Each structure stands twice: as structure tokens, then as C-alpha cells.
Structure 1
Amino acid sequence: MDLAAALATHRLVAIVRGDDPDAALRTVLALAEEGIELIEVSLASPEALCVIERARQALGPDRPLGAGTVLTAEDARAAHRAGADFAVTPGLGDGVGAAQELGMPVLAGVLTPTEVIAARALGVAALKVFPIAQAGGAAYLKALRGPFPDAPFVPVGGIDEAAARACLVAGAIAVGVGSPLVGDAADGGSIAALRERARTFLAVAGEATR
């Protein structure tokens, strides 16, 4: 898949992390039904690989599905076997190269200018600025874009509705949203409430594309 193009088109990545695998699967499917095209399942969740495999079967072969928290080469290989077609990493570990060797584009975690340069040298699809809230939010993103005006930045970490809007205005290609979107749905919480939050974030992403 062309991850950079998908990020530029959809402007939103949903990050699913939870302790209940069945609830996590329901969360993925509900997000997809609401129209969120880019969803990642964090490998930090229990039975995450099983969730990815079941989600792939339910969604079919053409819907983008990512594996998050890819740290090692084995993480990348296991995610690929489970059916993930893109990888998201918190940093520049061995999982980046392994995922690329398997044909999985990578949204690679960076924070500093040095890490941005290193990630771009690796040929990653896009740059996950993490954790953005702790680094200064949209103001930090704007500063980072000074030396890297064309870099495909995706801020992640503490992105609520207001932060999503601010980061997109500041030049993010997309935003990655976890708990402000997913809430407790992946732990067995309300799917109806999840759907409402999904519509809110989709509206923010839609504003950014106009």
C-alpha cells in the first residue's frame, strides 16, 4: 500500500490498544464501519496478533490494517504473518528495516531533528512525532517543520479533538489518535460511544482536507 498517500487522503489513524481481545476486535470493526480507513492494533495489547488476524479476515484483503508498537524484527514478521500491511513504531528499532523488507510501509517514531534525519535516510513512509503532547504539541510540530517543511509528520500521543485540529492546521499530514478516540471500548466499554467519538474525529479530519 502507499501509506503516505493514504495518510494524506484520510488524515486520521485510529490506535487500538486494550486488554480484552474480543472487545479490541469489536472496536476495530466499529471504527471501520464508521469510515475510519487507517487503523492500527498495538502489539502491546494482549493477543494483538490474533486481533489483527481476525480483523483481517473480517475486513477482507483490501482494507488497510496496521500493527503498532513494532519494536523488533520478529514483531514485524509476526505482524506480517497475521495480516498487517503497514507497521507503526515508537522509534527507529530493528522493526523498521524488517517491515520494509517484507513490503510493509512504516510510520516510524521520531521526536528530535536528528531522528527525523535518520528516519528519512531509512526511507520510511511517514514520521510519527511521539509523544507530541509532552514535546509541546502543535507549537513543537510547527517548529520541527521549519527545517523539514515537506516531511510527512503524524503527531501521536495525547491527541484529543482540539489537538488534532491544531496539529493538522500546523501542517501534519495526519494525526494518530488513541485513547481520546477509543476510550474504554477496547476494554469492553460502549461501542455506541466509540461510534460518536469516531464521527467527531472524522469531522476534524474532513475539515483538514477542505
Structure 2
Amino acid sequence: MELLGLLWKKHLMAVIRGSDPEASFQTACVLAEEGIDVIEVSLTGAGALKVISRIGAELGDRVVLGASTVMTRDEAGQARDAGVAFIVTPAMCEGAARGVELGVPTVIGALTPSEVWSASASGAMAVKVFPASVFGPSYVASLRGPFPRVPLIPMGGIEADQMAAYLDAGAVAVGIGSPLIGDAADGGDLAGLRERARRFRRALPYGEALP
């Protein structure tokens, strides 16, 4: 299944940003075990490219793996070479343009209507609405009015009990970082991560959604 179709079905992207490479890898393993299998690793985390390569090598097709916080042309190329299935950027930056050039499905960050349009017109597979928590689900619904064909993925500060509201507002999926990951990727409690993963999964309206 192509990535956008998978996101319509899964509704959730997990974002790992860790200070401990081993803990970041173990975090990905726990998420995969709990059925959260669309995972992005932020390049601002420690040893991120090596973490990506290890997840790809050891988890294989159990996960759909991306790189996030991709800012530069070099980072986009390095992420592609590490074997990612997609790239996520926080803004319309050189990394976004290079990801599109390389043919890697690219989720480009935006907030304002002008930025959403620019990201979509630049070849984004989907637009990351960030930081989503600043304006909430109603803002996503408002963006859907002028941009009904632009897939939107809100990210930033979304809690488990808020996911359904974002999806009801028309989001393809939601991206979840610290509310899900907690301190696990910094060497924290993996049992706590497992409990949060189950809570987030229970809060999702599973079943394939249609665009």
C-alpha cells in the first residue's frame, strides 16, 4: 500500500526524538510490538541516522520508517541513503525541496494558509500542520475549506483524547511525539511507553478511512 493510503488507514505517526541511540531503537521496537508501525526518527536526536539504519535493518517491513526535522539538502540525501520511506520537515526548507527532487514522499511543515498552499504546490505528499496544538482541531477544519484536496497531518502537543477531534476535522493522520514517547527515547521507562502506546491505540478510530 502506498504511504498516503496507509496513513488514511493507520491515522497515527509516532515521532521519536531521543538523546540515547540505544533507547531510541528500543522505543521503536516497543512501538512496533504494540502496533504503532509508522515511525519517524527526528534528525535532531542523538545518532539519528544510525538509529534509522538499525531500525530498518532489524525491524524491516514491520515498520514504515521516516526521517523528520529534515532541514538541509544534505540531510535529505542522507535520510534517503539510510533507507527511509518518507521525509518530514518542519517548514518549506531546502530539505523539503531536495526530498521532492529525490522522489522521496515528503511531508512539508506549514501553519498559515499561504504556507499550506506553498508546501502543496511544491510537491508535498501531505502537509504537516505544526504546531497544531496552538490552534486546535477547529483550525484544521478551517484549512480543509480552501484546501479540500491537500492531505493534512497535524503534529505538536496532541494528546490521546484529542486525536479523534483532529481526525473528525479532516486530518489524514496525526503525528505524536512526546505525549506518546515520553522519556523512553532518553533511556526512560519502556513499560510506561508500552502503556501509553496501548492508550493511544485505544483512542484511535481504527478501520480504513477514505479521503
TM value normalised by structure 1: 0.94
What secondary structure, in the 3-state scheme, does the structure 1 residue paired with 2:15 have? strand
What secondary structure, in the 3-state scheme, does the structure 1 residue paired with 2:108 have? strand
Residue type of the partner of 2:196?
Answer: R
Identity fraction in percent: 49
Specify the alignment match of 2:136 in structure 1. Answer: 137
Question: 1:63 Cα shift?
Answer: 3.2
What secondary structure, in the 3-state scheme, does the structure 2 residue paired with 1:40 have? strand
CA distance in 2, matches of 1:149, 1:204: 25
Residue type of the partner of 1:19?
Answer: S
CA distance in 2, matches of 1:71, 1:119: 14
CA distance in 2, matches of 1:92, 1:145: 20
Residue type of the partner of 1:159?
Answer: I
Specify the alignment match of 1:19 in structure 2. Answer: 19
Alignment of 1:1-210 (within 5 A): 2-60=2-60, 63-134=63-134, 136-207=135-206, 209=208
Question: 1:62 Cα shift?
Answer: 6.7
Cα shift readout 1:133-160 (whole Å, capped 9, x = no counterpart): 11x1111111111211232110000111
Residue type of the partner of 1:43?
Answer: L
Question: 1:4 Cα shift?
Answer: 1.3
Q: When the two structures are aligned, how many residues end up with a matched partner?
A: 209
What secondary structure, in the 3-state scheme, does the structure 2 residue paired with 1:143 have? helix
Question: 1:206 Cα shift?
Answer: 3.3
Question: 1:207 Cα shift?
Answer: 4.4
What secondary structure, in the 3-state scheme, does the structure 1 residue paired with 2:64 have? coil
Cα shift readout 1:154-208 (whole Å, capped 9, x = no counterpart): 0000111122121111111100000010011001111111111111212222347
Of the structure 1 ranges 42-51 and 61-70, higher mean CA displacement relative to structure 2 is found in: 61-70
- Are the equivalent residues in 2 in contact too, given 1:21–1:51 (CA < 8 A)? yes
TM value normalised by structure 2: 0.93
CA distance in 1, matches of 2:69, 2:207: 27
What secondary structure, in the 3-state scheme, does the structure 1 residue paired with 2:127 have? strand
Of the structure 1 ranges 193-202 and 40-49, higher mean CA displacement relative to structure 2 is found in: 193-202
- Are the equivalent residues in 2 in contact too, given 1:107–1:124 (CA < 8 A)? yes
CA distance in 2, matches of 1:28, 1:127: 24
CA distance 1:64–1:25, shift in 2 (3 Å): same
Residue type of the partner of 1:48?
Answer: A
Residue type of the partner of 2:95?
Answer: G
Residue type of the partner of 1:172?
Answer: A
CA distance in 2, matches of 1:27, 1:165: 24
Aligned-residue Cα RMSD (Å) equals 1.6
CA distance in 2, matches of 1:152, 1:31: 24
- Are the equivalent residues in 2 in contact too, given 1:2–1:105 (CA < 8 A)? no
Residue type of the partner of 1:174?
Answer: A
What secondary structure, in the 3-state scheme, does the structure 1 residue paired with 2:204 have? helix
Question: Structure 1 unaligned runs (5+)?
Answer: none
Question: Structure 2 unaligned runs (5+)?
Answer: none
